[in-house]
Structure 1
Amino acid sequence: MEPSQEYMYAHVSIDCAIFGFDGNELNILLIEKEGTAAQKLPGSLIYQMEDTDSAAGRVLCELTGIRKMSLRQFRCFSSPDRAMDPDDVAWLEKTYGRPVGRLITIAYLSLCRINRTLSAAARRKAAHWCPVSDLPAMPFDHNRIAEEALCEIRQWTESEPAMLFELLPVKFTMAELRALYEAIYLRRFDIRNFCKKIARIPYIVRLDEKQTDVAHRAAHYYKFDRIAYNQLRQSM
């Protein structure tokens, strides 16, 4: 049998792309690559008796201490050269205590409010939020995973816009909502046109409440109305 036709022997891992919004730009959660100064996405090889969804939940809990967060599988990364860098291979084999050849990862994506407190375990792993505009060079193909995750968020914006409100406070201003769209699409939106478009969306509801203790003109708060959203979806 030719080498190109040999059946592969592979390890399967989980990597999680967890995004938060700080009011100005999207951030992604990174951890230190143990024993090095490099940074990476949170991830792990899966256990023998563990499915991928359970592994993703375990990785998230071990990193953040958060047990209830929606994680969605969005892509498999299986290029044969994912673990070709000798430093990456050496780190894997030292960390997991076994030879690692072909490495396939199932990537999960989650959106959360950035003010969620990271656990002490997370701090020991030097977990931190990093702006997506300032990502370092990461091991394996983690930069590509982060890029593909951002593309997935853009698709959610079109097909499942309710997901975006996981990134915003319960009450938010029009400026915060516009900043979120600009962070996702990496471009500016005309303020007037954006406000007109949002005003036509029935599930984004303007409240009577306004900002307080601000130096500029106080803006109205808005909220996401899930009942109105579901009704609209059912009628489509």
Structure 2
Amino acid sequence: MKAKVLLLIILAFFLSSSLTTPTYFSELGKFVILVHDVSPAYISQIERLASIINEYGLQEKTYLFVIPNHGGGMPIEKDKRFMDLLENLSSWGYHIELHGYTHVGREFKCSREEALSKIELGIKIVKAEYFIPPRYAISAGAREVVLANNLTVIERFYLYSPEGMVYPILNREYTWRISKILYTYQFSRAASAYKNTKGTFFLSLHPTVVDNPEGVKFLHEFFKIVREDLG
């Protein structure tokens, strides 16, 4: 049984390792936080997550990927508390970006026409520079539409620029349903990857990380390493 667990860990590490050298983006620097699923559904979690990020002075390193109409029934422009929160976070240095439109299913695994409709709705509400497709699922045609609207597309392994360039990236999420059993392994992986990469390190998070004690522990310990490294 122990041998099987060890094999699974080794396999997971291999599959999560990029076979290409991650790109360093001078405009982003060594470290970036990508917060997915920013919507009124998680407003209390976003507030708590922001307080941790603020504690380590990482506001300007944080990109909040907003869902303009979560589930098709949560238009952010009609939620004053949420819009006020975004305005405050922006004034503190956070970047407000776009994460699909409704986040229902694999919504950008779609036709060019459907993608254009959703992007036009999204950019009317969120003035963004970056776009992450929900679940990282996007068709080639939809990607072309997003890029044509001058949005940089961040996917799991690559970043696509409106200028037509494709860059390999190191983009990882270590805190999704993190448990006590796997905490040491996940934290060690993250710390090692951050220390050893020569490219920009993208740390993906979801707001619900703050609902998990192990997730909160990870944030404090990892952000401390980053803060000491960045000075």
TM-score bracket relative to the smaller structure? under 0.3
TM-score between both structures, scaled by the size of structure 2: 0.26
Give the structure-1-normalised TM-score. 0.26
More strand by share: 1
* CA radius of gyration, larger in: 1
